[in-house]
Amino acid sequence: MPRRPDARALLFERIRTTPAKFVQVRGVPYVVAVEEASDPLKLDHIWLTLEVPPFGRLRAVINTLSRINRDAGFDSRVRVGIVHSTYTEKPATGLEECAGQDYSHIEATQKITYEPYEREPLTEMLIAKLKTAIRVELWGELYARDHLGIHQIHCRRASCAVTADLKNRDGALKLYYPTENLAELFLFKFCGQP
């Protein structure tokens, strides 16, 4: 009797054979690390591995600077807006396609101040917070290489160096902490994004 493919194998195949999917993912943080690269000029991400049943481990790739803006002579810092909230229950783990997300809708209901971060302080802050989180929720695009992952976890509007202006594709990161049921939603923008 032939064996049925598992959820992870089916997801790999779907990603490889269809256009990029914008998804919402909820998982349990497993490992967080600074991206590995032999060239220090290529270090611009944090890698977060999440457990997302039934798909197994997925890698979330979070930008800590904009190499494209830097290489074009613009400000490479990431501007970070944080929305604080509380939760009553941890969200159930899962992965689903979603219609999209637009920071302007969040900004219309919340007063958000974006603070620019250099790569090192942003890396340190995010790693400390990710190590404390008991659940992670994020929005971005699925990809499949030698692993399954989610990237584009930031605003996708045109920036100083990128002319493509993608609306309703803004990625984000939400962390759920064990203390006092606190949660933080992180919005990431690059130089020139509205």
| 127-185 per-position pLDDT tens digit | 999 999 999 999 999 998 888 999 999 999 999 999 999 999 999 999 999 999 999 99
Q: Which domain holds residue 54?
A: 7-189
Residue type, 95: L
Q: What is the pLDDT of residue 2?
A: 59
25 domain residue, yes or no: yes
Q: What is the pLDDT of residue 1?
A: 53
d(CA 103, CA 42): 27
Tell me the pLDDT tens digit for each residue of 43-102.
Answer: 899 999 999 999 999 999 999 999 999 999 999 999 999 999 999 999 999 999 999 999
- Asked whether residue 12 carries a pLDDT value surpassing 70, the answer given is no
73 domain residue, yes or no: yes
2 domain residue, yes or no: no
161 domain residue, yes or no: yes
Residue 58: closest CA among 86, 23, 85: 23
1 domain residue, yes or no: no
20 domain residue, yes or no: yes
Number of domains in the chain: 1
Would the pTM of this model clear 0.95, i.e. be above it? no
